[in-house]
Amino acid sequence: MFKLIHTDKSTKARLGKLTTAHGEVDTPVFMPVGTQGTVKAISTEELKGLGAEIILGNAYHLYLRPGLDIIRKAGGLHKFMGWDKPILTDSGGYQIFSLATLRKLSDEGAEFSSHIDGSKHFITPEKAVDIQRIFGSDIMMILDECVHYPAARDYVEQSLELTTRWARRAKEYFSRPETIDHRPKTSMRQLLFGIVQGSTYLDLRKKAVDGLLKIGFDGYAIGGVSVGEPENLIHEVAEYTASLLPQDKARYLMGLGTPPDIIEAISNGVDMFDCVVPTRNGRNGQAFTWSGELQLRNAAYKEDLRPIDDKCECFACRNHTRAYIRHLFNTEELLGLRLVSLHNLHFYVKLIQLSRAAIREDRFGDFKEKFLSQYRKR
Ligand SMILES: [Zn+2]
């Protein structure tokens, strides 16, 4: 359940509270990505230490490996991975269309071959709900078709109609009292979010929103962004779509992005984010700081005895230098990728915490302007 607490006076940025079966989450919020039931190289204790409030798991990956039986036996994904705070799971729609091979779409569902061993699978909107019920996800996503950019208008329109029909089936199935639910009966129910598609066609985005609002969901995600389109279109589509969504429901921009992307989207009224960038880029030595992006493997840092960011209070910055971290990457020591991942996640969490404070005090516009003017992209 989402409660809107305050809207910034100078932008559309919002402060809210999302209540789930595993606790409350303040929004805006950044969700570290734990695709395989782990935020790569980071323990759940470290995640809590840096202030992560909710993480994302991926239904497609976890359904294929380790599979539903072991997660059910473990008592759900929270117990299986040792994380007792909220989890949002993606339905797998995006991965079926980006990773799986030999996929065949029908009104009934999506048939595909696993990218791991070629085994055949068939996922329907109802099965995507069942899978996420077995996981015990606090927030489930509907099965959708994620269309890449560029896509012909006719195709997008047809795809959108399919996604809307799937959304209706998912909601109907989710609402049936006899649908399996493996969680203790005392906790609040799982939440189900709809996903707005429509590519870069604004009128189709509107049609998608109208279709989903008629069905009614606990929250709404803006999907199919950052799938190859130019940067200005990403924000135009996100801003327009966010403006169509109801005030009293959470808005989640899927799979975005860099720190400037997130700040831009917050100012457009988006509440929730997930992105692999802080960990994936961290494993390659790229650090995000208040002054911009650094590639710590560069020779320039060989004798640089400053921390990654002198304003940062993370474990890496309190204890280690750029020169040391460069040395770790140079010698392929695992600690290097862990330190930069930890720093990056800490930075994202801090960026969001300071954004919340700025919204609360009606100065998010100034905060955004100052942040963007100091931030240098590589
Ligand atoms: Zn740091």
SS3 125: helix
For residue 179, what pLDDT is reported?
64
Give 306 Cα–ligand 1 centroid separation in angstroms: 11
Domain boundary among 247, 274, 301: 274
Decide if 248 is catalytic.
Answer: no
Pairwise CA distance, residues 125 & 201, whole Å: 25
Q: How far is CA 376 from the centre of its chain?
A: 24
Which of 233, 251, 274 is the C-terminal boundary of a domain? 274
Instruction: Report the pLDDT value the prediction gives residue 185, as an integer from 0 to 100.
Output: 57
Within 8 A by CB and 6+ apart from 340, the residues are 282, 283, 285, 286, 287, 296, 308, 316, 325
CA pair distance 300, 329, nearest whole angstrom: 14
Which is the catalytic residue, given 90, 138, 218, 271? 90
Longest pairwise C-alpha distance within the chain? 64
242 and 328 belong to one structural domain:
no
371 lies in which domain range? 276-378
Domain harbouring 153, CATH code: 3.20.20.105
Please confirm, yes or no, whether 154 is among the known catalytic residues.
no
Q: How far is ligand 1, taken at its centre, from the CA of residue 291, in Å? A: 13
**Residue of 8, 144, 274, 309 with catalytic role:** 274
Q: What is the Å distance from ligand 1's center to 129 Cα?
A: 38
Considering the domain architecture, whether residues 170 and 124 belong to the same structural domain is answered as yes
Report how far ligand 1's centroid is from the alpha carbon of 301 (Å): 16
Q: Are residues 126 and 83 in the same domain?
A: yes
> What averages of pLDDT result for each successive group of 10 residues across the chain (378 residues)?
97 98 97 96 97 96 96 97 98 84 90 91 95 96 94 96 97 83 67 97 98 98 94 95 98 96 98 97 98 97 98 97 98 98 98 98 98 94
Element (H or E) spanning 295, and its range?
Answer: strand 292-295
How many domains does the chain fold into?
2
Co-location of 268 and 281 in the same domain:
no
pLDDT at residue 184, as a whole number: 53
Clarify whether residues 252 and 320 are in a common domain: no
- CA 313 – ligand 1 centroid, Å: 6
pLDDT at residue 188, as a whole number: 85
Instruction: Find out whether 12 and 242 touch, Cβ atoms under 8 Å.
Output: yes
What whole-number distance in Å separates Cα of residue 161 and Cα of residue 262?
Answer: 29
Token pair 């209540």 in the structure block, residue: 19
Q: Are strands 139-141 and 191-196 parallel, antiparallel or unpaired?
A: parallel
